[in-house]
Structure 1
Amino acid sequence: MKKIILTLILFGFTSLSFAQLIQGEIKINDQSRAEITLKSNKIVNLYADFREKKYPIHFVFTGIDIPQNSDKQEVVQFVFNTTVKKDGKVLGTIKRSPIPFFPGDMFMPVETFDFISILSNIQTNSNGSISEIPKGNYEIILEAKPIGAKGEIQSARIFVKI
């Protein structure tokens, strides 16, 4: 009898430890790592490439025991973090306010991650040189963190060479 009770208690704790488990990934062109070489030092051209879906950003996640909203839909809130580095040095980090998502997969607009704004504000440009950035090697880290749930979304990294 003790073994049965102990087994039931252990099963209950195990079930609770897996409650609201989120798993997923962010990918660029179906890869967690993308390498881009730009022909010019104008970051607006990189923005155009993302807008034209040359480098689609794909966000996918699944979950277990996700709470339902009042419409009986499973919804998870995510905070999106973006970090931009140049030659290994952090230039900027942006943390977005939480955004709700349904489980599944979706293509994300480049604006979700704000790395274009970080890059375009590296230096002050005159009207004739708007969006120019210094030559170098840039790393952009895209992350999604679930709120109120355990689990992890695999981040994506974009390496840009100018």
Structure 2
Amino acid sequence: MSLNKSLNRLFDEIRREAKRNPDFADRLDAIFRVHESARDVPEEAVEAERAASIDEGERAPSGAQVESVKGGPEGPRSPDLNPVAFFTREGADALKVALTKFTRPALEHLVSEHNLDPAGAATGLPKPALVDHIIAQAQKRVERDRKLFDY
């Protein structure tokens, strides 16, 4: 059995037990609330990674070609940034600072890549409004995920 299948079976069993046993679910919830990470990482390593992720800016994912709106292999590259995860870790203010460093085409590609505008409301927005739209969508997803994973 592959590692992925083994891990999937393990987590499925944990989910089933959490549904059956409220005490187990409460203990899991307490663990996740107390511990943000299972490992202690030196603060220098965390700061270096944050700086690297912001400085790299418009780097395309490794080995991937990003298509432009016109469909060619060149065009705006999506920032190597997950706005929802960044919002969860750093908050809205830090996300705003990180997003303002990107160009408008890069932000548009980020919106497209992460499906942050399913209704098409952000089309044609100026850069500051687009940044605000991304932050609002990230906040909505974080709130939705909290409700979804609340036992």
| TM-score of the pair, normalised by structure 1 | 0.28
Q: Specify which structure has the bigger relative contact order, considering alpha-carbon pairs within 8 angstroms and separated by 6 or more residues.
A: 1
Greater C-alpha radius of gyration: 1
Structure holding more strand per residue: 1
